[in-house]
Structure 1
Amino acid sequence: MAVRAERPDPHTAVMRELLVRYLDAWTPAVLRSHRRATYVETVPDDFATSALRVFGEFADRLTGHQLDVVILGSLTTALTELGAAPGLSLRSVADPADLTVTGPVLAHLDVGAGALDEPTAWRLVASLGPGKAREVLLALPPAAADEVTEYRTRLRAAGLPYAVTVELADDDRRVRLLLFATSSDKHLATFKNELWAADEFAGIRYRDPRDAEHSLVDISLTPQLLPLRRALLDELARRGTCTVADLQHHTLHETIYRPADTVGVLTSAASSGAITREPAKGRLSPRTVVSRRP
């Protein structure tokens, strides 16, 4: 009798892909501008293995640089072998309180996978956040909108002012909350691009935890934009009048969408008469002024 293969957890599959996609962008960027950087991983098995494989693909760029990989937990033989590449320094730390880092840092902190609990994760955020070019990818249980707002406040207090918070919901309505926080506007935009470029095979849909309608959105390079339309019209009603660039900034910092998605929403809203624009014709540009129609 054939043994039925266990179906991989869809949340894990999507989070692993997002991590790999972002590391593909983060690694060459950080090696281009710094001689030493640190990656922190709290899931010693799948995620650490995937990260080390990404770093191995940039072996040519590690020449003359040092990338410290710190595992919170135990090192396996497989990890030790993958971390033996020139330019990589692999070590483990049993107690998170003993963690030390150098240079730019990206930390993947997963509460629920491994032994990391939520209070320890937030202590790590507070200790890792201050400093130049620090970033965290934090996976948590689902939380209410007011809790998510508080999380963003804590991230800003830790020196990570730019963040995206997104719920990953599977077909069985199980939800994980993913937070990416950084001190770089550019890196926030990069992460969001990877967020929507992820494969759809895992059966995961996204949801903005601060969306009052709790709309689920399929992962796609051209996602459904109704939640963004509601958010932008609400913001425009609050402001009265502003530029397209202002709303692109709001999209980047306060929603799960990308700045480029703003133009599509506003173009549709102008065509339907929901907003006015100046100039009245032509393509929307960052300097186009828009107003909410009374």
Structure 2
Amino acid sequence: MSARGDPHLAVKREVLVRYLDAWTPVALGSRRGATYVESGHNDFVADAFQVFGESADRLDGHHLEMVIVGAPDSVVGEPPAGLVVRWVADPEDVTVVGPALVHLDVVEGGGLAEADGWRLVTSLAQGKAREVLLTLATAGPDYRGRLRAMGLGCSVAVELVADDGRAQLLVFATGDSKHLAIFKNELWAADEFAGIRYRDPGDAEQTLVDISLTPQLLPLRRVLLAELARRGSCPVAELQQYTLLETIYRPADAVGALTADASAGAITREPPKGRLTPRTVVAHREG
């Protein structure tokens, strides 16, 4: 299958565009300027040009630089006015200023090997407001630990599984939990008809979940029941934070999952009636 016909590429492009839309105005608020680093399929470059072009009014008076890792003739489309574009053939020569979003796809296009990608992430993550969006072929050993060691303690990894079973791993990491929440919102807002389902690499049942603003919550219910059994009891807010940092789901999804568990009698709650709120205390029901 060609890259353009690959549903993986369609989903990755949409997720990238959605997050760039959210990241750009925030990054442009920095007095130090901001940097976007791209290494991947040509379409990612064109998509970034389009997003930044739609923010042309914000580019005026601000410094936004786009660093493209690869040969200049690999670029498609024209960069918008006000965007500084720099081509770097050697990943070792990439430098950034200010807040930075680094998008590296080592599966499709770009010609960047995974080991080179990790070296680049390691060198660029050491700074304030640095974030990375990676596409890897498979989940490597303790990749989340590697990201935490770089100062990117808030991350999510989700497998993109096509109908034929082919999978790629999409990883987003940041030091800001609010930005992680924003990314997850965009992740679940992607086109649900693109021929891709999500899978949490940490899910023991390896359940495939359709992309939807109201996703299937059974995998999350299992995870939260196990976590609640470990804790005994806790406020809903703590399980919302756990959901954000340790699963592919959003904090709001935790409320839905816990509500279903309470209705099924799997957990107890205090107060016993009314809608679950972050302050509601839930407990694992023994037996």
Matches for 1:230-245 after TM superposition, within 5 Å: 230-245=222-237
Once the 2 structures are TM-superposed, how far is the Cα of residue 84 of structure 1 from its aligned partner?
4.7
Amino acid at match of 1:127: S
Offset at residue 82 of structure 1 (A): 2.2
Change (3 A) 1:206 1:132: same
Structure 1 match to 2:24 = 27
- The aligned residue for residue 106 of structure 2 is 111
- Structure 1 segment 99-178 matched on structure 2, within 5 A: 99-113=94-108, 114-143=110-139, 147=141, 150-178=142-170
The match for 1:259 among 247, 251, 266 is 251
2:59 pairs with 48, 58, 62, which one? 62
Q: Look up the match of 2:68.
A: 71
| TM-score (normalizing by structure 2) | 0.95
**Where does structure 2 lack aligned partners over 5 or more consecutive residues?**
none
1:18 — aligned with what? 15
Structure 1: tracts of 5 or more residues without a match: none
Cα RMSD for the two superposed structures = 1.6
Give the residue type in structure 2 aligned to 1:289: V
Q: Distance in 2 between matches of 1:69 and 1:112?
A: 21
Structure 2 counterpart of 1:27, which letter? T
Q: Once the two structures are superposed, what CA deviation does each residue of 1:119-167 show, in whole Å capped at 9, x if it has no partner?
A: 11111111111111000000001237xx3xx000000011100000000
Tell me how far 1:215 sits from its aligned partner. Answer: 0.1
Q: Which runs of 4+ in 1 moved over 6 A?
A: none
Q: 1:94 aligns with which of 69, 89, 99?
A: 89
Count matched residues: 284
2:172 maps to 1:180: yes
Q: Which amino acid aligns with 1:220?
A: S
